Every structure is written in structure tokens, then in C-alpha cells.
């Protein structure tokens, strides 16, 4: 009885002691001034926390203003902070983390730090989180914030997507860092009525960075970007060579206006570039159409594509596990079936 009477007081004092209104800081990434689509999904996730959302744009002086102008129109953004420095032209975790630490130290207004699960954010956010002594939750597929308990609940795939974990960051974690799986949230749209207020912040210059950027090389392609494509045609080891991979898959991808993906086996064998790998350790895609050509369907591959709307499999092996998830399966020699398919699709 006595215990019970203590409870309400405790609850009161707790809600008094904590700020309950979430304020998310979304790291808006861009490449050479072009906003990253993953960041738009991260923005949608941040908005679902139910509070203010501030975007952060860092980059070279010649890019930042353009990105900010585009970002101001994004639905869901309350304000934008931007910081320009030649040091951010080729951003490195070592050079960008001091700026984030400064923004998040002391009596910061921010409660959540959000980004897409991009290669740069994956490198940056945990570094900052550790310095601030808080955990970081990776690749979330849903988020819900409870303002009364100041806790945030996430779901995220574990074990290559073979299990879904529901985890809660309680109020004892003052800054909640998380990265967002792009395919699980729609991209925030631009709207004419929005004009988020933008203000600039001083960059934190790192005079003696232990790491120096030398060069980046990007795989050029006229096809849509794998991560955001509506249709994906993927090839596996059965494509035999890099040449046959290209000559068989590219015409099909071009006919469908699809991006090209690959299984790890195809990447390891050198048929396709690393950046095309779909799976647990590569890209996660969820297009309208996923066509798996000569891919057996190992769990690591399925982890990267099983949320696709329509899965089509072409495989010679009737027992290939891919047929267990495919909506439409064709058991055939891909070297005959794919050219025929291209021809008949065009007819």
C-alpha cells in the first residue's frame, strides 16, 4: 500500500525532470550538391518522432547553399543548420565529428540524431555517439517515440533479416542516435508551401586530422541507382563471366528501365562491381520488381531483397531456395530464357 502511494510522486517527478518534446537532428547528405535520397527517408523517420526536425547540411562552400535551398522546401523540416568549409568537400568522420559533437554537447536542444544507413553516416554517427557515451541503433525499419516516458522504440532486422528485434532506448539515453533503412520509409517530398528557416553555423576546423582523403572513384552508369530503383535485375554466379553478365543482363535491365544488381557470388567472382551487391552486407533494396537471374537465394542475399513487391526468379535448378520466395518462377536456362524474354517484352 505504501509502495503504491509512492508511485504517482515518482512518475510526476520523472516527467518533470525530462524534456518530453523530441527534437531530431537529421544529417542531410549530398554528393556534389545533389541531395541523397536515403536522407529523404531518414527525414520521414525523424518526422515520425512527433517533434521538431532540424536538418544539418555540411559541405564545400560551393555546394552548401544549393543543397540548403532545395532542403528548405522539404516537408517535415522545421529548420536547417548548415556549415560550409573546404574541409567538408570530401567529408571524413575525423573532420565532421567535431562539428556534431559541438552541436550535441552541453545543453543541446536535440534529442535524436538521425541519418540514412549510408556508408558515410555509418562511419560518422557511431564515432560521435561513442564520444558522447551513448549507443547507436543501426538500420531501423520503424520508429515510435513515447513523449511521456521519453523513450523511443525501434524495430530493426538482425541475423541477416531472419529475425526482427524491437528495442527501446529509454530516457536514460539522453541522445538517441539511429540510422534509417531507406526502403522502410517513403522519401520526404518537396512542397511549395514549406520554407524551413536556414541558419549557418561555424565549421569546426580540424587542423591536424589523422586521416586525409586522397581520391574517390564512382562507378558511372546510365541506369537508375540500385538503392532507389523501382525495378532491379540481379545476376548471380550462373552468369559465368563478366562479359556474359553484361551481355545477358544489361539488355533486360535496359528494356525494363531497371537497375542492375548482383549476388555476392557474382561480385566475388568479378562479374560485377562491389557497389552492385545486394544482400546483408551489400545494398538492401525493395523495388516494385526484383528479377533474380541465376541466383540460388542464399539467406544473405534474401536479406537484401525479400521486401521487394514482386520477385521473379529465373533459375535452372528446380530446388534453388529462391523459388521459395519468388512470386513467379521460371525454371529454365537463363542464357536462352533471358534473350527470349527481352524480345517478347519488347514485342
Partner 1 sequence: MRPSAVRLLNILVPVKRAVDYSVKIRVNPQQTGVDLNVKHSMNPFDEIGVEEAVRLRERHKDQVKSIKAVTIGPPKAIEILRSALAMGADSSIHVEIPENSPALEPLAVAKTLREIIKRQKEGVDVVILGKQAIDDDLGVTGQMLAGLLGWSQATFASKVEIDHAKKEALVTREIDGGGEEVRCRLPVIITTDLSYNFVNPEPRYASLPNIMKAKKKPVEKFTPEDLGIDYTPRLETLKVTEPPKRVGGSKVANVDELVTKLKEAGITVA
Which span (102-110, 183-191, 232-240, 327-335) binds partner 1, by CB under 8 A? 327-335
Which span (2-10, 80-88, 212-220, 241-249) binds partner 1, by CB under 8 A? 212-220
156-175: contacts with partner 1 (CB under 8 A): 156-170, 172-173
Near partner 1 by CB under 8 A: residue from 30, 82, 264, 301: 264
30-59: contacts with partner 1 (CB under 8 A): 31
219-248: contacts with partner 1 (CB under 8 A): 219, 225, 227, 231
Task: Measure the CA–CA gap between 186 and 43, rounded to whole angstroms.
Answer: 9
Residue 39 C-alpha cell reads as 536522407
Near partner 1 by CB under 8 A: residue from 39, 97, 115, 248: 97
Contact 274, 267 (CB under 8 A): yes
| Residues forming beta bridges with residue 232, ordered by sequence position | 259, 290
Q: Does 300 bind partner 1 (CB under 8 A)?
A: yes
Contact 75, 188 (CB under 8 A): yes
Write each residue from 116 to 135 as x if it is in contact with partner 1 (CB under 8 A), else as -, in one continuous string.
Answer: --xxx-xxxxxxxxxx-xxx
Q: To which H or E segment does residue 146 belong?
A: strand 142-146
Q: Does 344 bind partner 1 (CB under 8 A)?
A: yes
Rg of the Cα atoms in the chain: 23
Task: Measure the CA–CA gap between 163 and 182, rounded to whole angstroms.
Answer: 19
Task: Measure the CA–CA gap between 290 and 308, rounded to whole angstroms.
Answer: 6
Near partner 1 by CB under 8 A: residue from 76, 280, 285, 301: 280
Indicate the residue among 190 and 310 with the shorter CB distance to partner 1. Answer: 310
Burial category of 101 from C-beta neighbours within 10 Å (exposed 0-12, middle 13-18, buried 19 and up): middle
Q: Does 187 bind partner 1 (CB under 8 A)?
A: no
Near partner 1 by CB under 8 A: residue from 267, 278, 285, 292: 267
DSSP 8-state secondary structure symbol assigned to residue 190: B
Q: Does 295 bind partner 1 (CB under 8 A)?
A: no
Amino acid at each position: 500500500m505504501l509502495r503504491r502511494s509512492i508511485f504517482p510522486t515518482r512518475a510526476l517527478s520523472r516527467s518533470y525532470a525530462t524534456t518530453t518534446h523530441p527534437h531530431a537532428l537529421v544529417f542531410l547528405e549530398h554528393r556534389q550538391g545533389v541531395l541523397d535520397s536515403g536522407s529523404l527517408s531518414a527525414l520521414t523517420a525523424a518526422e515520425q518522432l512527433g517533434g521538431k526536425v532540424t536538418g544539418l547540411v555540411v559541405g564545400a562552400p560551393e555546394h552548401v547553399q544549393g543543397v540548403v535551398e532545395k532542403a528548405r522546401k522539404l516537408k517535415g523540416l522545421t529548420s536547417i543548420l548548415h556549415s560550409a568549409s573546404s574541409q567538408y568537400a570530401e567529408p571524413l568522420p575525423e573532420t565532421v565529428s567535431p562539428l556534431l559533437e559541438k552541436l550535441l554537447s552541453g545543453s543541446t536542444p536535440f534529442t535524436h540524431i538521425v541519418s540514412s544507413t549510408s556508408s558515410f553516416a555509418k562511419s560518422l554517427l557511431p564515432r560521435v555517439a561513442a564520444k558522447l557515451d551513448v549507443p547507436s541503433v543501426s538500420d531501423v525499419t520503424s520508429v515510435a517515440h513515447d513523449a511521456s516516458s521519453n523513450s523511443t522504440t525501434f524495430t530493426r532486422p538482425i541475423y541477416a533479416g531472419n529475425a526482427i528485434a524491437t528495442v527501446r532506448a529509454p530516457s536514460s539515453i539522453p541522445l538517441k542516435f539511429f540510422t534509417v533503412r531507406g526502403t522502410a520509409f517513403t522519401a520526404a517530398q518537396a512542397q511549395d508551401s514549406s520554407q524551413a528557416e536556414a541558419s549557418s553555423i561555424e565549421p569546426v576546423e580540424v587542423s591536424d586530422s589523422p586521416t586525409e582523403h586522397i581520391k574517390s572513384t564512382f562507378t558511372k552508369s546510365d541506369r537508375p541507382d540500385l538503392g532507389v530503383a523501382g525495378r532491379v535485375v540481379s545476376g548471380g554466379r550462373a552468369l559465368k563471366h563478366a562479359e556474359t553478365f553484361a551481355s545477358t543482363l544489361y539488355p533486360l535491365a535496359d528494356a525494363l528501365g531497371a537497375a542492375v544488381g548482383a549476388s555476392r557470388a557474382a561480385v566475388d567472382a568479378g562479374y560485377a562491381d562491389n557497389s552492385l551487391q545486394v544482400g546483408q552486407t551489400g545494398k538492401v533494396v525493395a523495388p516494385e520488381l526484383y528479377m533474380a537471374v541465376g541466383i540460388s537465394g542464399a539467406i544473405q542475399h534474401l536479406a537484401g531483397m525479400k521486401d521487394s513487391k514482386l520477385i521473379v526468379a529465373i533459375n535452372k535448378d528446380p530446388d534453388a531456395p529462391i523459388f521459395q520466395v519468388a512470386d513467379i518462377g521460371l525454371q529454365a536456362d537463363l542464357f536462352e530464357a533471358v534473350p527470349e524474354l527481352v524480345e517478347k517484352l519488347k514485342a
